[in-house]
Every structure is written in C-alpha cells, then in structure tokens.
Amino acid sequence: MVIIDPNNGDILALASWPTYDPNLFVPSISAEQFKALQDDPDIPLLPRAYRSSYPPGSTFKIAVGIAALESHAVYPDDRYECVPSIQVGNVTFHNWKKSDRGALNFVQALTESCDTWFYQVGIKTGSAPIIDWALKLGFGAKCGIPLRGEAEGRIPNDQYMKATHGRKLLNGDIANMSIGQGDTQVTPLQMAQAMGVVANGGTLYQTRLVQQVQTFDGQIVTAYQVRAKRTLDFSSETLDQLRTGMINVVNGAGGTAHQASLDNVEVAGKTGTAQWGPKNKERTAAWFAGFLPADQPRYAFAAVYEGDVGSKVHGGSAAAPMIADVFKDIYQGEKVVRQQQRRAREEPEVRRAEPVEEDDESD
C-alpha cells in the first residue's frame, strides 16, 4: 500500500506485508535469522510497494480514458455496447460480467468497469495515445525515491513487442492493454503517483520520501525540495469525467468498490483485478487506487493484494476494504457527509445494476 499527498508528492505511507522486525539487523543479524527470512516463502524482505510490479488490471482504465477523451477518439456522450464478449482477430475477449449491459457512456463504463467497452474504445484510440498518456502519468519509469531496487514497471510499445514477441503491437495487444493486462506492469508507488496527478488536476510531482537528512546536532546534510516534474495538459472536461466515474465506482449503484465507501468522507477510486504470473502458478493481483476527499483531495493511494495460487480475489473485495480501514481511522469523528454528496452526484441515467459481488475479473 502507498499513500501520498497529491498536492506536493510527499509519501505518507509505504507499506509491505508480511513484515519483519528491522531490529534484528541492529547491530547485525545472525546467519540463522537471516537465512530464516530469506527462506520464508512469503518473502518478507521484498518491499512490494516499490520493488514489485504487477499488471494493473482495470485501474489502468484511468490512463486509457484520458487517452481516449483527450485524443477525441471518443466523447463523453458517446455510447458503446457493453456486451459479454467481442471478437478481436481470432481471439474472443470477455467482459467480467456475463450479462449484456447495454449501451454505456464513459462514466457508466468506468463505474461498472466494462471490459468490452474498453476493448472497443482502446482499439479505436490506438496504442500511441495510450502509451503517451501512460508515460506522462509516470508509468514505465522509476519514481526516483532514494532507495535501491525500485522497479520501473513496463508500458509495452512496438520496440518491446518486437524484441520479446517478434512482432509489433496488434489489436489484441491493445485490447489487453486497455484493461491493464498483457505485458503492462506497474508498481503500487507508480499507481499512487498517477492517482495524485488526477487528484490535483494534472501536476506530476517528484515523489518525496525524505524531506531532509541532518546530523545529530541539527546540521542539514541534504534537503529534498518539493518539485513539479511536469504538468499534464488534460482538459477540465476530461478531469470531470474521471472524477465523476471514480466517485460512482465507490458510491454509485453499479460501482465495483462499495466496500471502500466511508460515512464521513467521499472516496473516489478504481478497482482492478488482473491475472499474474506463469500459467501453472497463476495468481491474482487485486487493486484499488484513487484519492480522497473527492472534492478537495488530501490523499492519493494505491493498494494491491496478492492472491494465493488458485484463489479468487477481486479488487473490490480484497483491496478496497484495506483502504477503507486506514481512512476510517484517519477520519474518525468527522461528520457524516457521504450520503448527501452521493445523492447530489448520482446521475439519473446510471442504470441500476444487480448487487456487485465480484470485481472486474478479466481474461
């Protein structure tokens, strides 16, 4: 789990589970204790928050949505059919829901996390705008924290595909990328950073883990200033579409993250559920990422839960409650505002979906 301040890039939490006692290393760890940590099958020495990368699943639909709207491949009122499956080349790509959801606009498709909607829109948008906006959001590059071993993730392009698979990106690859599957990999830190950009309206700050280093007598050795790396020029209309959809994901009737809703603050977010690892040992990465309060964000976050081999976990049921638990403590005692905000924001045209029991399980 990673939580940052979207208004300056400060990392407020950088957590990995399982944990270990760092005092074991002071002044030095015994060979037996170190071997026990190294041999632990749950790998407690791996700082997953920044050193592990995972397929982002449907959390990546935020980047795809920005690319589609900003390139004008689609407009907010455009509707595409949310069908159970579509054919791309000789491969059938499925939606996570088995029923036909009808024609949806962007906000509705994001709320319900309709995979077949995003396959169509991703292919229409093309790989170039999606890759471009993903890189602008900070994916595919190290965030630059002063810790060793940060993973840079991966946003696949034609060069990567030729080197790895012997071909350029095809429509099937774009469909996979559109729901955060295939060869796309991101770290929890990168995801929180990207959510911070959406939360603050378009500024990518240098993530800051340390404010300053000083000696015992207070002399400052090194200081790390707040620094904006770049400003993304997406429109206010695109930003409004994203925020409306992400609020509905948590609070709307057809949303996939109801377990992240809080009584006293409005949460905006996106779930994701992605298959991960080799086929014979395939696991699920269950994501929830976003920001809060939705109207004036103070926190941007990303949480990912590693499912065991063969287990069924989903972003809405595994990762969303973890975020809810953290912010229940932070906002404890504040007055109840969520229900009034939800009623004010909910669109009358958003269809009333059946109760959501699982998140976007994508092929």
Q: Which residues lie closer than 8 Å to 168 by C-beta, 6 or more apart?
A: 158, 161, 162
CB atoms within 10 A of CB 273: 35
Q: pLDDT digit string (tens) for 195-212?
A: 999 999 999 999 999 999
**Residue 258 CA from chain centroid, whole number:** 16
Euclidean distance between CA atoms 306 and 18, whole angstroms: 11
Statement: the pTM of the whole predicted model exceeds 0.85: yes
Spatial separation of the C-alpha atoms in residues 179 and 119, rounded to whole Å:
7
pLDDT at 336: 61
Segments in the chain below pLDDT 70: 333, 335-363
pLDDT at 255: 94
Q: What angle do CA 295, 269, 79 make, to 5 degrees?
A: 95
Maximum Cα interatomic distance, the chain, rounded to a whole number of Å: 68
Q: What is the DSSP letter of 216?
A: T
- The domains located in the chain, with CATH, are 2-345 (3.40.710.10)
Q: What integer pLDDT is reported at residue 349 of this predicted model?
A: 45
